[in-house]
């Protein structure tokens, strides 16, 4: 089974059971963001979480095996057409250098880990229009001299 076939089976089962990502994540015992990324094929699950996911959704052992495999992360280098995803390209284009400068001024020369990392997505109600709150939290990795 490929990661794409796995994702298709998961999405169908999730829709059939009428579960949100939040509800599914609660049943599996993981964050909604991380579980969703694994279900979409960009991260992997440990055996216990994979088994639990398949139990909740009524999926085969093939799905449990495939979701435990390490993903190959390949991105298309063209600008995405989906407006939500495009905004992150826009944010990086407008604020990327600023984020780098401010971070390196506070921490020194280095980068933020995308491995030792969490991502949270919350909703903040506002009378002028609800707000999306995205928190990226990554370990700082200083560059080494040798």
Give the residue from 54, 53, 58 showing the smallest Cα distance to 28. Answer: 53
Shared domain for 64 and 7, answered yes or no, is yes
**97 counts as catalytic:** no
Same domain, 51 and 98: no
Cβ partners under 8 Å of residue 46, min gap 6: 68
Shared domain for 9 and 56, answered yes or no, is yes
Q: Which of 20, 55, 87, 97 is catalytic?
A: 87
Instruction: Please confirm, yes or no, whether 101 is among the known catalytic residues.
Output: no
Same domain, 46 and 97: no
Do residue 64 and residue 91 come from a single domain? no
pTM listed for this prediction: 0.79
- 62 and 99 in a single domain? The answer is no
Q: Please report, for residues 1, 12, 21, 30, 125, the alpha-carbon distance to residue 18 in angstroms, rounded to integers and kept in the order given.
A: 24, 10, 10, 18, 25
Which pLDDT belongs to residue 146? Answer: 79
pLDDT tens-digit series, residues 42-64: 899 999 999 999 999 999 999 99
Residues 63 and 102 grouped into a single domain: no
Q: Which of 97, 101, 113, 131 is catalytic?
A: 113
Nearest alpha carbon to residue 35 among 120, 100, 103: 120
Are 88 and 141 members of one domain? Answer: no
**Domain count for the chain:** 3
**25 and 81 inside one domain:** no
> What's the CATH number where 26 sits?
1.10.260.40
Please give the share of the chain, as a percent, with pLDDT higher than 90.
80
pLDDT score recorded for residue 78: 83
Whether 59 and 84 share a structural domain: no
What pLDDT sits at residue 72?
Answer: 84
**Residue 26 domain boundaries:** 3-68
Q: What is the DSSP string of 113-133?
A: EEEEEEEEEEEE--TT--EEE
Mark whether 31 is an active-site residue: no
Each residue's pLDDT expressed in tens, for the chain with a length of 146 residues:
999 999 999 999 999 999 999 999 999 999 999 999 999 998 999 999 999 999 999 999 999 999 999 988 777 778 888 999 899 989 988 888 889 988 998 999 999 999 999 999 999 999 999 999 999 999 999 998 77
Q: Which of 5, 90, 97, 101 is flagged as catalytic?
A: 90
What are the residues facing 28 on neighbouring strands? none
- Here the CATH number for the domain that contains residue 131 is 3.30.1160.10
Give me the long-range contacts of 68-74 (CB less than 8 A, separation at least 24). 68/44, 69/3, 69/44, 70/44, 71/3, 71/41, 71/42, 71/43, 71/44, 73/42
Tell whether 24 and 60 lie within a shared domain: yes
């Amino acid at each position: 089974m490929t990661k794409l076939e796995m994702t298709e089976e998961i999405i169908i089962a999730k829709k059939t059971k009428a579960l949100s990502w939040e509800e599914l994540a609660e049943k599996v015992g993981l964050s909604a963001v991380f579980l969703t990324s694994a279900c979409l094929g960009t991260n992997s699950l440990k055996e216990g979480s994979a088994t639990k996911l398949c139990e909740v959704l009524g999926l085969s052992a093939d799905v449990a095996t495939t979701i435990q495999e390490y993903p190959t992360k390949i991105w298309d280098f063209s600008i995405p057409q989906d407006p939500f995803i495009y905004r992150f390209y826009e944010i990086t284009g407008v604020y990327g250098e600023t984020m780098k400068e401010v971070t390196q001024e506070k921490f020194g020369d280095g980068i933020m880990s995308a491995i030792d990392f969490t991502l949270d997505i919350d909703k903040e109600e506002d009378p002028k229009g609800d707000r999306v709150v995205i928190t990226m939290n990554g370990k700082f990795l200083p560059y080494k001299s040798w």
